[in-house]
Amino acid sequence: MGTHTTFARPLLAAVVVAAASISCLSAAPAQAKKPTPPPPATTALPTYPTSVVGVSPQAMEKPNESGRTIRSLTMDNGKFYVGYGDYIINGGPTKVTTFDPTTKVFAESGLTAPTEEITTFRKINGKLYAPWSDPTGSATANQGYSTNASGTWTNKFAAPAEHVFDVATLTGSDLWMVGSAKNVVDGKGGAAAYRSTDGGATWSLVSKDTSSTEMGRERYYWAAALNGKMYMQAQDVLEGAPLRVFNGTSWSTMPGVTPCSTVEARAVEVFKGKIICTKYGYGVMAFDGTRATQVMPQTSWNVLDFDVPGDGYIYALSRGGVYRSADGLSWTGLTTVPEYAWAIGVHNGTIYLGERLNGTIRKVDGLNTNALATTTATTTSTATCKGKSGKTC
């Protein structure tokens, strides 16, 4: 929270100054052991020109450059909801805003979220949820998310959380939020997952992970539902935390399977019966509930953001370029991107890029993804891990 000292954000998500971000972005989260990366892809991507379509006045109101980073672009009813801010160099609260790619107008929803940063928006049953990555409120108050589920944007103070990084649903009628608890759970806080089965009126702590060394600094950065089960895995647990699985009635674990090590929920999506996510040092992984398969090797950079615009593809953005896939397994490189590209949104065949540090949104000119034939720059991988195979993926 902005009102007291918090755990340092892992390097992928933090942009304190441009020089630091350029040199450190491929590093793993703090204290996480970085695996040996696979050989980088060598196929060169085409380069298309880009043009600035707008600069967010709300992001530019943030008191520091990092807070002006566009972190997500989520399309809803013809407008992008814009995630921005920085939860390390506090500058909240954060206005819930949109960008209309047709009129090129930024607009405010009328709601200000009590968080230093909006990292992502999740769409559940046609409604949007914005988790509070770092709440600005009282250290003793409940925290949660902002949503338009009621028809107007409101703030929901749900549970005694320290951070809320993701919101999800398992059944379509329940709600989950994951992140970390205040230091009131076993006196240590730690990674915490909360569930509501009554539309968000009441919440229960349903999963947690702590570490005798970290003492409450553990986090669940993502939660994803697949084939009737909810999956999550804690980071920064020095003894190691297994993949947690909830089947609707009981919990189990999957030792030896670690599909996602991202520290931002925007780098985890469910697509075509698989959880697609970033894993440090490996690239993009696809998890089908049984095994995790490396489907795109890491190039020079980790994948920062995914977008599923509804055109039959999933898109991935790294600082090396934009890739897309029709099945989550085989990926095609579409274009290189400007140095500051940090978020991706695709609408009506046009790729939009949010930039770090400067509140800018660009579009890629001369490339229409609706008309694009998948031809070259395709990369696949078959490295897998399953259960207790002994292979760490």
353: enclosing H helix or E strand: strand 350-355
The pLDDT of 378-384, averaged and rounded, is: 51
Is the separation of the CB atoms in 229 and 289 below 8 Å? Answer: yes
Q: How many CB atoms lie within 10 A of CB 172?
A: 8
Distance of alpha carbon 272 from alpha carbon 282, whole angstroms: 21
Is the separation of the CB atoms in 239 and 264 below 8 Å? Answer: no
Confidence of residue 217 (pLDDT cuts 50, 70, 90): confident
Instruction: Report pLDDT digits (tens) over 88-121.
Output: 888 889 999 999 999 999 999 999 999 999 999 9
Terminal CA-CA length for the chain: 32
> Whose CA is closest to 135, among 152, 118, 111?
118
pLDDT of residue 138: 78
Instruction: Report pLDDT digits (tens) over 312-364.
Output: 999 999 999 999 999 999 999 999 999 999 999 999 999 999 999 999 999 99
In the sheet with 243-246, reading across from the earlier edge strand, the strands are 224-226, 229-232, 243-246, 251-254
Which residues 6+ apart lie within 8 Å of 46 measured at CB? 333, 334, 335, 336, 377
> What CA–CA distances, in Å, run from 59 to 213, 293, 349?
37, 37, 26
The pLDDT of 194-208, averaged and rounded, is: 96
Is the separation of the CB atoms in 330 and 314 below 8 Å? Answer: no
pLDDT of residue 239: 80
pLDDT of residue 299: 74
pLDDT above 90 for 125: yes
pLDDT above 90 for 365: yes
- Whether residue 393 is contained in a domain is answered as no
Confidence of residue 185 (pLDDT cuts 50, 70, 90): low
Domain with residue 114: its CATH number is 2.130.10.10
Averaged pLDDT of the chain: 86
Q: How many CB atoms lie within 10 A of CB 37?
A: 15
> Whose CA is closest to 190, among 215, 163, 165?
215
- Whether residue 1 is contained in a domain is answered as no
pLDDT above 80 for 379: no
Distance of alpha carbon 380 from alpha carbon 252, whole angstroms: 31
58: enclosing H helix or E strand: helix 57-60
Confidence of residue 30 (pLDDT cuts 50, 70, 90): very low
The proportion of the chain whose per-residue pLDDT surpasses 70, expressed as a percent, equals: 82
pLDDT of residue 38: 42
Confidence of residue 278 (pLDDT cuts 50, 70, 90): very high
- Whether residue 33 is contained in a domain is answered as yes
pLDDT above 70 for 229: yes
The proportion of the chain whose per-residue pLDDT surpasses 90, expressed as a percent, equals: 72
- Whether residue 32 is contained in a domain is answered as yes
pLDDT of residue 5: 37
pLDDT above 50 for 41: no
- Whether residue 196 is contained in a domain is answered as yes
Q: Which two tokens stand for residue 262?
A: 């991202």
Q: How many CB atoms lie within 10 A of CB 387?
A: 12
pLDDT of residue 316: 97
- Whether residue 342 is contained in a domain is answered as yes
The pLDDT of 124-136, averaged and rounded, is: 96
Distance of alpha carbon 274 from alpha carbon 238, whole angstroms: 28
Which residues 6+ apart lie within 8 Å of 276 measured at CB? 268, 269, 270, 284, 285, 286, 295, 306, 314, 328
Confidence of residue 43 (pLDDT cuts 50, 70, 90): low
pLDDT of residue 280: 86
pLDDT of residue 211: 85
Distance of alpha carbon 277 from alpha carbon 261, whole angstroms: 8
> What CA–CA distances, in Å, run from 236 to 1, 121, 136, 264, 379?
18, 24, 23, 14, 31
Place of tokens 């696979």: 38
**For 301, what's the count of Cα atoms within 13 Å in the CB-facing half-sphere?**
25
Q: Is cis: bond before 93, omega within 30 of 0? A: yes
- Whether residue 206 is contained in a domain is answered as yes
pLDDT of residue 210: 87
pLDDT above 90 for 212: no
Distance of alpha carbon 242 from alpha carbon 56, whole angstroms: 40
Instruction: Report pLDDT digits (tens) over 284-322.
Output: 999 999 999 999 998 778 999 999 999 999 999 999 999
* Residue 270, strand partner residues: 275
pLDDT above 90 for 25: no
The pLDDT of 243-262, averaged and rounded, is: 94
Q: Number of folded domains in the chain? A: 1
Instruction: Report pLDDT digits (tens) over 133-155.
Output: 999 987 788 999 999 999 999 99
* Domain assignment of residue 90, given as a range: 18-386
- Whether residue 322 is contained in a domain is answered as yes
Confidence of residue 184 (pLDDT cuts 50, 70, 90): low
pTM: 0.86
